[in-house]
């Protein structure tokens, strides 16, 4: 149970984060969604994240600025839906170090950490150590 869902509208960022996570070699199946709405759809059915096992992700990397439904819209929707709130941790990962975004993220209990892009190997190892302790 070490899958990751990357929610980001920039395909280059998605590829970059996926490559970093793979090089960390502690995370499992990596899936992505290009906006909050797609992500809610995937999380509503674990088989959409991992068709072979049907196991939901352990970690969600969430961007802020996305069309259709942005990061905060995704969190608001999630907050209202008990069915979608399983055991995954949400890390907000954004280019913006704007104080306004940090403060807004703090209003959601669902957000476990707030990181500024780019996701580095050091970040990925730290996330693995925090969220996948049984592997260490």
Partner 1 sequence: MNNNIASGKIPAQVGSANERSVQDLEFQLKQANEELTQFNYHVSHDLVAPISTARGLLHLMEHDLTAGITEELPELLSDAQDQLVRLDKLVSDLMLLARAGASDHHMEAFDLRPMLDDIVSTMAMHVLELEISVTLKADQPVLTSDRVRVQQILTNLISNARKFVDPEELAPEISVTCDQASTGICLRVMDNGIGIDKAIAEKLFGLFTRGTSQHAGHGLGLYIVAKHAARIGGTVTVESYSKPTMFEVLLPNVLPGSIPGVTSEVMNNNGKLHSV
Element at 96 (helix H, strand E): none
As measured in angstroms, the least distance from the Cβ of 1 to partner 1 is 26
Q: Which is nearer to partner 1, 87 or 100 (CB)?
A: 100
Check: CB of residue 69 under 8 Å from CB of residue 77. Answer: yes
As measured in angstroms, the least distance from the Cβ of 54 to partner 1 is 26
Nearest to 54 by CA among 34, 79, 31, 73: 31
Q: Which residues bind partner 1 (CB under 8 A)?
A: 9-10, 12-13, 15-16, 19-20, 23, 34-35, 65-68, 95-98, 100, 116-121
Q: Which is nearer to partner 1, 55 or 96 (CB)?
A: 96
As measured in angstroms, the least distance from the Cβ of 88 to partner 1 is 22
Nearest to 25 by CA among 121, 92, 133: 121
Q: Which is nearer to partner 1, 54 or 67 (CB)?
A: 67
DSSP 136: -
Distance, first Cα to last Cα, the chain: 14
As measured in angstroms, the least distance from the Cβ of 45 to partner 1 is 20
């Amino acid at each position: 149970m070490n899958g990751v869902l990357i929610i980001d509208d920039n395909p280059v960022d998605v590829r970059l984060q996926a490559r970093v996570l793979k090089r960390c070699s502690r995370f499992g199946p990596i899936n992505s969604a290009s906006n909050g709405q797609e992500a809610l759809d995937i999380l509503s059915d674990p088989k959409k994240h991992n068709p072979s096992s049907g196991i939901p992700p352990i970690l969600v990397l969430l961007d802020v600025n996305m069309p259709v439904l942005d990061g905060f819209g995704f969190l608001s929707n999630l907050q209202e839906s008990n069915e979608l709130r399983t055991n995954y941790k949400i890390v907000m990962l954004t280019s913006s170090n704007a104080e306004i975004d940090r403060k807004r993220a703090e209003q959601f209990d669902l957000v476990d950490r707030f990181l500024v892009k780019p996701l580095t190997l050091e970040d990925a190892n730290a996330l693995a150590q925090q969220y996948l302790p049984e592997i260490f």
